[in-house]
């Protein structure tokens, strides 16, 4: 498993397919955190949501990037089809951690830069006081980023070329499903009946909504977030398992 993950990392890096998602996220972070003041919770929630969408894209590209013959060779070496695909999903988790690290280190760096120039990046809107980042915000923010990124990665990966052969249509459907995970809340407000089917879409909206406590904007309401976080984990794992089952069943 470890050797397979190292292979995926090496293949992904040498193919340079990570560059565009990384660049887009980097530009978002610079553009977003380049202006102060910001609120910790809403900023991190938005950054996690953007990472989720970027990871849908990265997961889709990753699933599309390996040629069937290369997969066949490695599957025979790994001896199990499921081991091979699970290793790919674990790699997506590792990549999500890497992107999340950037998503958290960027505001921390901007915070330091703003402090040097006598300002502060984050503030509390209740009393208008300026404040720095707390360790708790950083840790919970990182966790949200990782899970949101992994959720996006598994959504993109689930549209695997062996399951969905028409790639031109599939790329549109994958991005649509990704966005639906985000906008399903608005859909439920406008169409009451939507609640009966939107549960099928990724639970990204539920996670962002749980973090959005108007009373407290500088501390994550972790108590309210536990269930949505668990739902994200379960959704990602179940989706990954279904994807592995489908590619295994489909064969070459």
Partner 1 sequence: MGQVIIEAHGLCKYYGGRTILQDVNIKIERGDAIALIGHNGTGKSTMLRMLSGLSSPSSGRILRSPDLKFAFIPENFPKLSMTVDKYIEHAGQIEGLTKKEVHEIADELYRMFYMEDMVDIPIKHLSKGTIQKVAVVQALLTQPNVILLDEPLAGQDIKSQKNFMKIIKDMNDNGVTVVMSCHEVFLVNQLAKSAYEIKNKTMVAIPVKRKQYTQESTLDAMLFDKGSGLSNVSPEVLQWVQHSTENDDVIQLIINREKSNEVLRIMLRDGFELRGMKGV
Sequence-distant (6+) residues with CB within 8 A of 234 are none
Three-state DSSP at 202 gives coil
Write each residue from 230 to 249 as x if it is in contact with partner 1 (CB under 8 A), else as -, in one continuous string: -------------------x
CB of 98 to partner 1, least distance (A): 19
Three-state DSSP at 102 gives helix
Write each residue from 3 to 22 as x if it is in contact with partner 1 (CB under 8 A), else as -, in one continuous string: xx-xx--xx--xxx------
Residue 123, phi then psi, degrees to nearest 5: -145, 165
Identify the H or E element spanning 123: strand 122-123
Confirm if 133 and 33 have CB atoms less than 8 A apart: no
The DSSP bridge partners found for residue 38 are 122
Q: Report DSSP state, residue 192.
A: G
Q: Which parts of 74-113 interact with partner 1 (CB under 8 A)? A: 74-79, 81
Q: Which is nearer to partner 1, 9 or 102 (CB)?
A: 9
CB of 73 to partner 1, least distance (A): 5
Task: Please state the length of the chain.
Answer: 252
Q: Kindly tell me which residue out of 31, 128, 214, 251 binds partner 1, with binding defined by CB under 8 A.
A: 251
Size of the site for partner 1 (CB under 8 A): 24
Q: Cα separation of 73 and 115, whole Å?
A: 53
Write each residue from 42 to 81 as x if it is in contact with partner 1 (CB under 8 A), else as -, in one continuous string: -------------------------x-xx-xxxxxxxx-x
CB of 170 to partner 1, least distance (A): 17
- The tokens describing 211, both together, are 């973090």
Pairing of strands 130-131, 122-123: antiparallel
Q: Which residue has the tokens 């064969």?
A: 251
CB of 80 to partner 1, least distance (A): 10
Q: Which is nearer to partner 1, 2 or 168 (CB)?
A: 2
CB of 8 to partner 1, least distance (A): 9
What is the contact surface with partner 1 in residues (CB under 8 A)?
A: 3-4, 6-7, 10-11, 14-16, 67, 69-70, 72-79, 81, 249, 251-252
């Amino acid at each position: 498993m470890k050797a397979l993950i190292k292979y995926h990392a090496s293949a992904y890096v040498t193919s340079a397919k990570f560059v565009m998602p990384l660049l887009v996220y980097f530009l978002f972070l610079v553009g977003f955190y380049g202006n102060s003041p910001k609120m910790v919770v809403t900023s991190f929630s938005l950054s996690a949501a953007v990472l989720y969408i970027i990871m849908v894209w990265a997961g889709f590209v990753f699933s599309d990037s390996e040629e069937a013959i290369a997969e066949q060779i490695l599957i025979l070496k790994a001896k199990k089809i499921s081991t091979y695909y699970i290793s790919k999903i674990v790699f997506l988790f590792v990549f999500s951690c890497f992107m999340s690290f950037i998503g958290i280190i960027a505001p921390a760096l901007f915070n330091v830069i703003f402090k040097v120039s006598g300002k502060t990046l984050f503030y509390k809107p209740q009393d208008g006081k300026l404040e720095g980042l707390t360790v708790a915000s950083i840790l919970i923010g990182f966790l949200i980023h990782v899970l949101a990124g992994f959720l996006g990665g598994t959504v993109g990966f689930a549209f695997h070329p062996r399951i969905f052969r028409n790639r031109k249509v599939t790329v549109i459907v994958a991005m649509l499903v990704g966005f639906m995970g985000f906008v399903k809340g608005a859909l439920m407000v406008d169409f009451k009946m939507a609640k009966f089917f939107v549960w099928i879409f990724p639970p990204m909206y539920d996670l962002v909504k749980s973090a959005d406590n108007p009373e407290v904007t500088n501390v994550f309401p972790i108590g309210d977030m536990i269930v949505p976080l668990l739902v994200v984990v379960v959704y990602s794992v179940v989706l990954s398992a279904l994807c592995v089952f489908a590619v295994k069943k489909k064969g070459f």
